[in-house]
Amino acid sequence: MRTGALGLAAGAAAALLLAAAACSDQSPNTCFDSNGFSYGFYLGADTALVFHWPASRMPVRVYADPATVTRPNVVAGLQTWLGAFHCGEASATVTGDSTHADIIVRVVGTLPPQPVRAITLGSDSVGVCVGRTDGTYDTTLTLEGPVRSYIAPLGAPDSVALSGCLRMTTTHELGHALGILAHSPDAADIMYTTPRRSTLSVNDRYTLQMLYHTTATIRPFPLTP
């Protein structure tokens, strides 16, 4: 059973390149949901601190541990977020190579210590699991390495509640890893501090759309040949 599930996940991942459908008409208004509201994506509510992956970095390489439930949750979470784009602003590929990844997602027993001077955003989902996303950056506002998302189970393994929490929290943390460095005050949004849903609200969609049409000030770490 376990082998079959892993084989399916690995096979799906091998051919996986997630991309939003590109519109032929890319005039700005077509790139946004018409009835959305942005709850903000600035780090610490500082409008000088904006991060999103640049067009030159597409597809964003996302590592998910292939031996756990992480990978299908990461695939689903990325599909959820990328599905919000109308103009092909971002794409992602899921990789099993953590040494060449922009985002690293792991399920861990307990959350690791928080790094110093990092983008650190946590979520505490309905008491069954928790998550946190870290990105350390230097004085030039350049990330020093990959963005790291951690998901830690708190409840009994294999419970329905835990599996739902892992899915929801992975999607929430991927929202941070894609650049939403804030939380929504509204429980109807997945970026609420304690998310209650695995799908995006119209405001989640609009916030991501606005982010990818805003000039970033925080840069990703440079690629090494």
User: Nearest approach, Cβ of 183 to Zn ion (angstroms)?
Assistant: 5
User: Nearest approach, Cβ of 121 to Zn ion (angstroms)?
Assistant: 4
- Reduced to 3 states (helix: H, G, I; strand: E, B; else coil), residue 155 is coil
| Cβ-based burial of 171 (10 A; exposed 0-12, middle 13-18, buried ≥19) | buried
Q: Which of residues 164-193 bind Zn ion (CB under 5 A)?
A: none
Query: Which phi and psi (to 5°) does residue 30 adopt?
Result: -75, -10
| Cβ-based burial of 168 (10 A; exposed 0-12, middle 13-18, buried ≥19) | buried
Q: Based on CB atoms, which residue is closest to Zn ion, 13 or 121?
A: 121
Site string for Zn ion, 107-136 (x = CB under 5 A): --------------x-x-------------
Site string for Zn ion, 6-25 (x = CB under 5 A): --------------------
CA R_g for the chain? 17
Task: Say whether the peptide bond before residue 153 is cis (omega within 30 degrees of 0).
Answer: no
Total residues binding Zn ion (CB under 5 A):
2
The whole-angstrom separation of Cα 13 and Cα 64 is: 10
Q: Based on CB atoms, which residue is closest to Zn ion, 175 or 220?
A: 175
Q: Based on CB atoms, which residue is closest to Zn ion, 94 or 121?
A: 121
Residue nearest to Zn ion (CB): 123
- Reduced to 3 states (helix: H, G, I; strand: E, B; else coil), residue 7 is helix
User: Nearest approach, Cβ of 169 to Zn ion (angstroms)?
Assistant: 9
Query: Which phi and psi (to 5°) does residue 166 adopt?
Result: -65, -40
Q: Based on CB atoms, which residue is closest to Zn ion, 101 or 119?
A: 119
Q: Based on CB atoms, which residue is closest to Zn ion, 52 or 86?
A: 52
Task: Report the interface residues with Zn ion, using CB under 5 A.
Answer: 121, 123
